Amino acid sequence: MSEADLRRPPKWRLPTEWLGILPFVAFALLFLILPTMKIVVGAFQSPEGGFTLQNMVDLNTESIRSAYWTSIKLSLITALLGCAIGFAMASAVVFGGLPKRVRSPLLTFSGVASNFAGVPLAFAFIATLGPAGLVTLWLKTEFGINLRAMGFNLLSFWGLVVTYLFFQIPLMILIIIPALDGLKREWREAAEVLGATGAQYWRMVAFPILFPSLLGTFALLFANAFGAVATAFALTGPQLNIVPIKLFAQIRGDVLGNPNLGYALAFGMIVITGLANVTYIVLRTRSERWLK
């Protein structure tokens, strides 16, 4: 190469590498991003096409407010219970001195159960805790306990809570067991050598380390419950006023009388699940950074 060649700036080449992910990007755009954007934009559009906040304002009806509140309550409670019970079971398996052979079946079953949601799950619970369900009848014949008289009705808010737990608890177990495994044995030993009791170790070391994972998984469970449609539809149908059901009805046939209100409802859902998931991701990144 001559000196002149060396002094010339390198030719700008087309970044052909980026073509490699073109199919993926196209798919994501067409079937994920654009549809979502359509909703987001539509939430702020009037029927004529102009920008408006009216749809947001129209959300402020008794029925819709109640739907959001019920959804939030449902998601909070199932997330909380799912976290607590899932944590208890996961710690029992990892730390509780249970035989090692228990762990693998639990993980497999959790994988199955966390995917067994929707219509069949509703059927299973109706067959168990419904008016003619296995447990309902057994309690009545064996113990004389009448669930209905006690106020429990499967086809209601609390029935949905119990049903949701069937996939929330396993999801918690699946996510938290690796986090519990990550608690290195040496940390416990180091704490012990330095004079700490078991309770002190948990309070000062283990729980603070686990906290981001716990909180993050709580957020994930919350989002998971908030967006669930099929189980609720199959179990309580139109009886229970929650946002996904309302949106479902609105999409099927404009029951709200205002097509753009559907957009606003969906937008509200995106905001809430989005926030919860961002929380989860942020917290998980943070805990991974510590445990590097």
Residues between 182 and 241 with contacts to another protein, criterion CB under 8 A: 184, 186-187, 189-197, 200, 204-205, 208-209, 223, 226-230, 233-234, 237
The CA-based dihedral angle spanning residues 269, 70, 238, 258, taken in that order and rounded to the nearest 10 degrees = -50
Instruction: Using the minimum distance from each CB to another protein, give the nearer residue, 3 or 17.
Output: 17
Phi, psi of 145 (to 5 degrees): -90, 120
Do 265 and 193 touch, CB atoms closer than 8 A?
no
Residue 109 binds to another protein (criterion: CB under 8 A) = yes
Residue 166 binds to another protein (criterion: CB under 8 A) = yes
Residue 274 binds to another protein (criterion: CB under 8 A) = yes
Per CB under 8 A, the list member of 10, 23, 49, 253 interacting with another protein is 23
Cα 40 to Cα 262: distance, rounded to the nearest angstrom: 11
Residue 93 binds to another protein (criterion: CB under 8 A) = yes
Cα 287 to Cα 285: distance, rounded to the nearest angstrom: 6
Span near another protein by CB under 8 A; candidates 4-12, 52-60, 127-135, 145-153:
127-135
Two structure tokens written together for 41: 């934009």
Residue 271 binds to another protein (criterion: CB under 8 A) = no
* The one-letter amino acid at 143: F
Two structure tokens written together for 217: 């998984």
Residue 56 binds to another protein (criterion: CB under 8 A) = no
Encoded one letter per residue, x for contact with another protein by CB under 8 A and - for no contact, window 133-152 reads: xxx-----------------
Rounded to the nearest 5 degrees, what angle is found at the Cα of 62, between the Cα atoms of 57 and 168? 95
Per CB under 8 A, the list member of 147, 169, 214, 242 interacting with another protein is 169
Cα 154 to Cα 160: distance, rounded to the nearest angstrom: 7
Rounded to the nearest 5 degrees, what angle is found at the Cα of 187, between the Cα atoms of 182 and 188? 105
The 3-state secondary structure of 101-115 reads HHHHHHHHHHHHHHH
Residue with tokens 């996904």: 244
Per CB under 8 A, the list member of 59, 124, 139, 145 interacting with another protein is 124
Instruction: Using the minimum distance from each CB to another protein, give the nearer residue, 69 or 95.
Output: 95
Residue with tokens 């283990």: 206
Per CB under 8 A, the list member of 88, 145, 161, 255 interacting with another protein is 88
Count of residues engaged in binding another protein, rule: CB under 8 A: 103
Longest dimension (CA), the chain: 100
Instruction: Using the minimum distance from each CB to another protein, give the nearer residue, 8 or 207.
Output: 207
Per CB under 8 A, the list member of 102, 146, 181, 238 interacting with another protein is 102
Instruction: Using the minimum distance from each CB to another protein, give the nearer residue, 57 or 291.
Output: 291
Per CB under 8 A, the list member of 27, 57, 69, 73 interacting with another protein is 27
